[in-house]
Structure 1
């Protein structure tokens, strides 16, 4: 197992890994269009901050990755990236994405009536300026790939002087939460409904987690 920095030649393999790495998790697919999902949660990191993207390689194949950002305030927010993907891929005219966004609007409306929050971008916080996404293929789980990717990320944060980072996962993703807690992350803030997302037919809830460097 080798943990190394992203290289431009990794793009195609990393896109393929993005699709299969979430297999079996509550976020395996959000709106049913992997190409546009990668345009929100993977491509911008390769384009704008490749030095904060790390990959796990085993026997010449990529089996995991961590896409990070040292200064979130200087990076396009998730909402902005999603809006761009909706326009670029005409998602409102595709059946599965259109159904997802219709559910999302219904969830937001329902929450507004109940005066309840819904999931969204993490507020800027000087304590946790950095953030990350991590994904590991099913065959590489439990063999240390995720741990070593995280260690490499923490080393980068220390080298850049970042005081801490955050990530966002789902309350219902118990396996991920146990891993993040083991890596020193703690829950932060409320756990609102994530508009549009369903897991086993039920709504899911966002959990924000933070860790000091």
Structure 2
């Protein structure tokens, strides 16, 4: 797995590094998998939690890059390195069907399921690959799209998270989807406040956290 580069930023000394919103490029994939892992513990680094560091990306990121690349946006340094991302789909139901057809089968062939009594982090992700959940809920008709956003610490602040999220929301709204939802862990208080500030409201409470939704403007 690649690690984001740490070369010199081209910004003048003493000024914040220039990080801009950009479209996803296929060459970003390995770096974005690394971002996913380094933000995978309620926004903190999950590197030490998994024996196979790619599993988190396989479950929460890879299918979006493969099946919905036009909706993916990244935060990119001046040297070209991606340091954050927002991925989305306009239709959760359609996306889950397409994952079942063309994303999960290859992963299932490569990764055997673990015994039910195995409660390791890797085992839990493997169970999600072999038996992914389906989104069936009354609010899905109003909020059929969904997204995931992850930013490394250097990409946080300065309005960068808002910019990459709004770029993704604009792309999803352009598809005609009426609303979008996301999941956020209960312990990630800062993220909950961030989404509330952008207009998201709580749709459902879970043992692990919240599902939040936002109506999208008609285009």
How does the TM-score come out when normalised to structure 1? 0.73
1:20 aligns with 2:45: no
Stretch moving more, 167-176 or 128-137: 167-176
Deviations 1:81-137 (A, max 9, x none): 789756632351788346658xx9xxxxxxxxxxxxxxx643252210100000000
Matches within 5 A, 1:140-179: 140-179=155-194
**In structure 2, what is the Cα distance between the partners aligned to 1:207 and 1:27?**
21
Counterpart of 1:200 in structure 2 is none
- Corresponding residue SS for 1:128: coil
1:96 maps to which of 82, 100, 120: 120
Counterpart of 1:8 in structure 2 is 26
> Once the 2 structures are TM-superposed, how far is the Cα of residue 211 of structure 1 from its aligned partner?
0.3
The 3 A distance-change label for structure 1 pair 184 and 82 is farther
How does the TM-score come out when normalised to structure 2? 0.72
| Structure 2: gaps (5+ residues) | 1-18
Contact 1:22 1:137 in 2 (8 A): no
- Corresponding residue SS for 2:191: helix
**In structure 2, what is the Cα distance between the partners aligned to 1:135 and 1:192?**
21
In the alignment of these two chains, the number of paired residues is: 186
- Corresponding residue SS for 1:39: helix
The structure carrying a bigger strand percent of its residues is 1
> Once the 2 structures are TM-superposed, how far is the Cα of residue 167 of structure 1 from its aligned partner?
0.3
> Once the 2 structures are TM-superposed, how far is the Cα of residue 23 of structure 1 from its aligned partner?
6.0
**In structure 2, what is the Cα distance between the partners aligned to 1:30 and 1:71?**
33
- Corresponding residue SS for 2:96: coil
1:192 maps to which of 192, 206, 211: 206
The 3 A distance-change label for structure 1 pair 92 and 29 is farther
> Once the 2 structures are TM-superposed, how far is the Cα of residue 31 of structure 1 from its aligned partner?
6.6
**In structure 1, what is the Cα distance between the partners aligned to 2:194 and 2:135?**
21
**In structure 1, what is the Cα distance between the partners aligned to 2:48 and 2:89?**
22
Contact 1:91 1:98 in 2 (8 A): no
The 3 A distance-change label for structure 1 pair 89 and 143 is farther
Q: Alpha carbon RMSD of aligned pairs, Å?
A: 3.3
Counterpart of 1:136 in structure 2 is 151
> Once the 2 structures are TM-superposed, how far is the Cα of residue 206 of structure 1 from its aligned partner?
2.5
